[in-house]
Amino acid sequence: MPPKKNPHTVTLYDTTLRDGTQAEDIAFSVEDKVRVAGALDDLGIHYIEGGWPGSNQRDIEFFGAMRRVRLKTSRLAAFGSTRKSGVRASNDANIKALLKASTPCVTIFGKSSKLHVRKALRVSLEENLDMIFDSVSYLKKRVDTVFYDAEHFFDGYREDPSYALSTLGAAAEAGANCLVLCDTNGGTLPFDVAGAVRDVRRRVKAPLGIHAHNDSATAVASTLAAVREGVTHVQGTINGFGERCGNADLCAVIPALKLKMGIGCLPPAGLKKLRELSGFVYEIANLPHYTHQPYVGESAFAHKGGVHVSAVVKSAETYEHIRPELVGNRQRVLVSDLSGRSNILYKAGEYGVDLKSNREVVRHLVKELKKLEHQGFQYEGAEASFELLIQDALKKREKYFKLLGFRVIDERKEEGKAPYSEATIMLRVGDMVEHTAAEGNGPVNALDRALRKALERFYPSLREVKLLDFKVRVLAAGEGTSAKVRVLVESGDKLDRWGTVGVSENVIEASCQALVDSLEFKLYTDGKKRKPWK
């Protein structure tokens, strides 16, 4: 049942391009940041924090580049700190850099904790209040929107509530559009966040925001708790990127606000782009997608256990908390040694094969699957190999070619020089035998090239196939280099991408199994439109 519409609305403020880049494994170029800003704008994010122009040249160049970009829905924000001690805002280099960025919004942070005022800034408590007031007041006269980030607010509130509140009062009196309460160390639990926000709302009349870090794995929960207490401005990053353990993940916050709490924050069309945006930002950051990420991860709506699948087939709501399509995701059913009849029927249906009336084939597939997985095969990331397995069980699998044998030479002739790899293969297509060799930049690449070289004159469409990913997993680490390995290969053409698997104590043999399945799957999908080679 959808939540009741809540009159409460929330403004979304994304800081992926600033706070997100403080993660140790993330570095965006200026061009990367411009592309991400465009994607955030397309989603419908209200504010995009572009960076700190007073801290580095890259952010200065980014703001310059963004002057040539017309945003449809988002407003760009520059980020910085309050003025330094002993310097008025009008003469402060950081404040000047913020104004030079020429953004419609400026966000500045100041200290809320006595500890930080005394130990980090080394100024008096009164001077800190004046720094906040002077900075916000000066900027507010020159910029349309000024947000004040109360850094370490919850730590400061726990230490001395009266002083922490006085720092908010200074920013509010200076005209800040919103006071953002920051859990900078990420150590405050959601119920303590809720209690503090409740108290602040009683004492401060300005609009409030929340900025939570994830050091206690509660950033999303703390953000939602704050919103429930009346916060109307939410800060976070796509995929939770950020310093140390990251920030509140907007990919979880946004659907929770809209679908669980009934709070307006994005148009429906934007919500459906959430998974696509998540993947885009991972790609720009050159990081692997987090498979188990809530809402947008590949496994977020994946079902493996037979009991689960049996129920999901009858009603998705039995094991899915929302419809995956609402966030641009999809339901998936996995096949493994935990699979039952329901998993097999569901997967076969995905491939357009109706097995409901063929109990014997289903029974055979379940038995075969359990046997193969016991040997080390895994089909969760190799659904193309599983589809070929179904065709085997139906006795409908076409033999486009038969690999008769192969030999791989991997030789280094001189110290310091790269090894030399050559693969020789023999295969049969119809009544013809091909004996071919090819070189490569490694044994697997040489084997792949030899296979293609032999087959492409019979099946020209194989020229379209590209090897996209190659993973090797040791299955029994205690056996050392003699252990069995599993190779997962991801391939693709102009229309699709697919995964195949091979298992052996010999990594070249396992690779060969996966490569052969990959090419056979391409010919099988082509064969739905044309007959195989005779």
Our CA angle for 277, 283, 288, nearest 5°, is: 110
402-527: CATH topology is: Double Stranded RNA Binding Domain (3.30.160)
- Please tell me the predicted confidence (pLDDT) of residue 337: 46
Helix (H, G, I), strand (E, B) or coil at 433: strand
Kindly give the residue spans of alpha helices, DSSP state H, lying in 160-305: 161-173, 190-203, 219-228, 250-255, 268-271, 274-285
pLDDT value of position 348: 66
Contact 395, 388 (CB under 8 A): no
What is the C-alpha separation between 28 and 51, in angstroms, rounded? 11
Pairing of strands 263-264, 233-236: unpaired
**How many beta carbons lie within 10 A of that of residue 220, not counting itself?**
22
- For residue 33, give every residue at least 6 positions away whose Cβ sits within 8 Å of its Cβ, in sequence order, or none: 17, 50, 51, 62
Across 235-260, b (16+ Cβ under 10 Å) vs e yields: bbbbbbbbbeebbbbbbbbbbbbbbe
CB-based contact 471:485 (threshold 8 Å): no
Q: Domain map of the chain by residue range? A: 7-266, 302-393, 402-527
Place of tokens 């995905």: 350
Packing angle between helix 219-228 and helix 190-203, nearest 10 degrees?
30
Torsion of CA 155, 161, 167, 169, to 10 degrees: 140
Tell me what pLDDT residue 338 has: 47
If you search the block for the tokens 């995929």, which residue do you land on?
A: 239
Q: Is the pTM value of this prediction over 0.75?
A: no
> Which 3-state string (H, E, C) describes 320-358?
CCCCHHHHCCCCEECCCCCCCHHHHHHHHHHCCCCCCCC
- The CATH fold assigned to 7-266 is TIM Barrel (3.20.20)
Q: How confident is the prediction along the chain (534 residues), in pLDDT tens digits per residue?
A: 556 667 678 999 999 999 999 999 999 999 999 999 999 999 999 999 999 998 889 999 999 999 999 999 999 999 999 999 999 999 999 999 999 999 999 999 999 999 999 999 999 999 999 999 999 999 999 999 999 999 999 999 999 999 999 999 999 999 999 999 999 999 999 999 999 999 999 999 999 999 999 999 999 999 999 999 999 999 999 999 999 999 999 999 999 999 999 999 998 889 999 999 998 998 889 887 898 999 999 889 887 766 776 776 677 788 889 999 999 998 876 665 445 566 667 666 665 666 766 777 777 777 777 788 778 887 767 888 888 988 888 888 888 999 999 999 988 877 878 888 999 999 999 999 999 999 998 899 999 999 999 999 999 999 999 888 888 888 865 566 668 898 989 898 888 889 899 999 999 999 999 999 999 999 988 876 544 444
